[in-house]
């Protein structure tokens, strides 16, 4: 048996965070990208993070945020892990001095192994869908066959996952973890508790088969 971890991203409300935790999510993600419909303020994020029980990883998502702005967030919100979802280089990520994961948007022409190897300090890589001009949260899946069987980092699979397709995604990619945002929403930034529950249940069930 192999457990597949599960992150629910794009949380904007405490009630959604608590529902995700109650459903069994391992991590919740908060988007600090002002152009996202799921963006949270520092105050909102702090209220959510400080109200969570222990043993739930809190992840802050950033897209090419200037360092001074990021330092303001990090000083105010006790995040466990950073998710760099823009064009940050490995040096940019390392310079922050916090544990991080790097999101990489996968295209057919990419050498995914080389992309991953460019971030030796990352705890894991998050593989997401490439859509021109959109850094993430597209709600679109990519061709999972583009993910090599062996990579130098644990893989967090993202991009258009839903309670309906996550079983097939895990069976094909065999990731360390999965990450979902749009696929469990009732509206942008508002989670659908029943879909969150269905998603986590599906992830747990397929993990038991692996
Ligand atoms: O959610 C967003 O708005 C977002 C904005 C900018 C970068 C990343 C964003 N979301 C992350 O994208 C992946 C996939 O999301 P989806 O499941 O396809 O909706 C996930 O990590 C989101 O948190």
Q: How does residue 16 score in pLDDT terms, banded at 50, 70 and 90?
A: very high
Position 2 confidence tier, pLDDT thresholds 50, 70, 90? confident
Strand-pair category, 124-129 with 190-191? unpaired
Strand 27-32, strand 190-191: pairing: unpaired
Given a contact cutoff of 8 angstroms between Cβ atoms, the answer to whether 10 and 137 are in contact is yes
Q: Catalytic residues, which ones?
A: 9, 128
Q: CA-to-CA distance for 117 and 41, rounded, in angstroms?
A: 33
Say if strands 177-180 and 5-8 run parallel, antiparallel, or are unpaired: parallel
- pLDDT at residue 190 is higher than 80: yes
| The CATH number of the domain covering residues in 5-209 | 3.20.20.70
Complex ipTM > 0.85: yes
**By CB neighbour count within 10 A (0-12 exposed, 13-18 middle, 19+ buried), where does 149 fall?**
exposed
pLDDT for 209: 61
User: Residue range 125-150: average pLDDT?
Assistant: 95
Averaged pLDDT, 137-146: 95
List the residue whose alpha carbon is closest to atom 2 of ligand 1.
137
Of ligand 1's atoms, which has the minimum distance to the CA of residue 139?
A: 18
Question: What token pair was written down for 192?
Answer: 């659908």
Buried b (16+ CB within 10 A) or exposed e, 80-93: ebbbbbeebebeeb
Distance separating alpha carbons of residues 210 and 208, to the nearest angstrom: 6
Question: Does 83 have pLDDT greater than 70?
Answer: yes
Is the beta carbon of 63 within 6 A of some atom in ligand 1?
A: yes
Is the pLDDT at 165 greater than 70? The verdict is: yes
pTM of the model: 0.96
Q: Write down the residue that tokens 């002002």 correspond to.
A: 34
Identify the burial level of 192 via C-beta atoms within 10 angstroms of its C-beta, where 0-12 means exposed, 13-18 middle and 19 or more buried: middle
Please work out whether the CB of residue 74 comes within 6 Å of at least one atom of ligand 1. no
* Any ligand 1 atom below 6 A from CB of 157: no
Instruction: State the pLDDT at residue 207.
Output: 65
Which residues touch 89 (CB under 8 Å, ≥6 apart)? none
Taking residues 150-167, what's their average pLDDT? 98
Residue 107 has pLDDT above 90, yes or no: yes
Average pLDDT over residues 153-161: 98
State residue 152's pLDDT score.
Answer: 97
- Summarize the confidence of residues 131-147 as an average pLDDT: 95
Q: Given a cut of 70, is residue 206 above it in pLDDT? A: yes
Does residue 142 register a pLDDT over 60? yes
CA 73 to chain CA centroid, Å, is 18
Residue 136 Cβ contacting ligand 1 at under 6 Å: yes
Please state, in angstroms and as integers, the Cα–Cα distance from residue 97 to each residue in 11, 19, 72, 100, 136, following that order.
24, 31, 14, 9, 24
């Amino acid at each position: 048996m192999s457990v597949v971890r599960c992150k629910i991203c794009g949380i904007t409300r405490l009630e959604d965070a608590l529902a995700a935790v109650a459903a069994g999510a391992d991590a919740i993600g908060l988007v600090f990208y002002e152009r996202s419909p799921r963006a949270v303020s520092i105050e909102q994020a702090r209220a959510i993070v400080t109200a969570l029980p222990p043993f739930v990883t809190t992840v802050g998502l950033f897209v090419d945020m200037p360092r001074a702005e990021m330092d303001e967030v990090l000083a105010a919100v006790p995040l466990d892990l950073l998710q760099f979802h823009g064009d940050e280089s490995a040096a940019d990520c390392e310079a922050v001095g916090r544990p991080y994961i790097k999101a990489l948007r996968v295209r057919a022409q990419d050498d995914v192994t080389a992309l991953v190897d460019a971030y030796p300090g990352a705890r894991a890589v998050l593989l997401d869908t490439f859509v021109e001009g959109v850094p993430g949260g597209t709600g679109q899946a990519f061709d999972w066959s583009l993910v090599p069987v062996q990579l130098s980092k644990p893989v967090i699979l993202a991009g258009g996952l839903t309670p309906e397709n996550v079983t097939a995604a895990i069976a094909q990619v065999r990731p360390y973890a999965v990450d979902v945002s749009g696929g469990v929403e009732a509206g942008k930034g508002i989670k659908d508790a029943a879909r969150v529950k269905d998603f986590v249940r599906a992830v747990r069930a397929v993990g038991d088969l692996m």
